[in-house]
Amino acid sequence: MGVSSEQSADIEALRAETHRTRRATVPALEDILYQPIPVLDHGFIRVIDYMGDDGAVVQAARVSYGRGTKKVSEDRGLINYLMRHRHTTPFEMAEIKYHVKLPIFVARQWIRHRTASVNEYSARYSILDNEFYIPAPENLAAQSAANRQGRGDVLEGEEAAHVFGLLREDSERAYAHYQEMLNENAAGGALDENRQGLARELARMNLSLGFYTQWYWKTNLHNLLHFLSLRADAHAQYEIRVYAEAMLDTLKRWAPLTYGAFMDYRMGGIGLSAKGLAVVKRLIAGEQVSQEDSGLPKREYRELMADLEREG
């Protein structure tokens, strides 16, 4: 389902409106404002509102009256400097608000990022839709033998079919029991006129973490970058990573100079410990460095060699 018919009508009405303002606006972000960007099988993200842009970062850094300089190259240089030296406060001067529809287990990972304002759909007040997440075949994988919180080989054949069957069967049964406890059918009527339904706040506890929830998530640009640095990383769980990747596109539209600096210095860069830096210097000098004489723990040494595209 993704977006409900009521939400679609609201979106069309909002996008039909225009407002004159003296605030800074970003045409590239205005183009997709309110529009849902599909994620997973039933999820989406959409930008609801924003305040500020790259100019707000520059303005705050210089504590100036204007919106930066007349030269984009100078603004880019300053933003690169701020990103490179981890001067975070200027990035806190811009904010963005998303409407997100996501599986509950993804929401439980996401909420660990506590530097945002969140308001979630209330299953005490409303009835959850019959929408649950089923992974695509290429994302149904066994437990990794080397990583306790990662995936290994993709399941195939009868084994994959059996797991898909369990996932769908369990979710469908859980929702059927949810409706039975509420004593409500899909049309909102009573299943049994002679029976009271269980309170919504109790009936919801029978649903699995694969069902979808929704929330509004508002954060500043600095904390958005921190979220993306962790959740758009290749090591993040796939189901939250695809949300982060969709949000990266909105960041590129909203604050392209900040996006460029972020991709260069954060997503495309690496951090080194003092011992790691010493290893790099020795390698540049032509020395052969092994893990045993590097002074680094095995895991850090392997990660450093992988970042440098060298055999560990």
Instruction: Give catalytic residues, as residue numbers.
Output: 231
Which residues share a beta bridge with 37? 45
Instruction: State both tokens at 3.
Output: 């977006």
- 């392209």: which residue's tokens? 256
Question: Which element (helix H / strand E) includes 273?
Answer: none
Report how far residue 179's alpha carbon sits from residue 207's, in angstroms, rounded to the nearest whole number: 11
- Are residues 79 and 71 in contact, defined by beta-carbon separation less than 8 angstroms? no
Q: Kindly give the pairing relationship between strand 212-220 and strand 95-103.
A: antiparallel
Question: Tokens at residue 268, please?
Answer: 């495309």
**What's the distance, CA 162 to chain centroid?**
30
Short-list 228, 233, 232, 307, CA closest to 270: 307
Structure tokens at 22: 């003296």
Distance CA 283, CA 286 (A): 5
Q: What are the DSSP calls for 75-143, one per residue?
A: HHHHHHHHHHTT--GGGGG-EEEEEEEEEHHHHHHHTT--SSEEEE--TTTSPPPS-B----GGG-EEE
Closest by Cα among 223, 23, 210, 213 to 99: 213
Structure tokens at 8: 């679609």
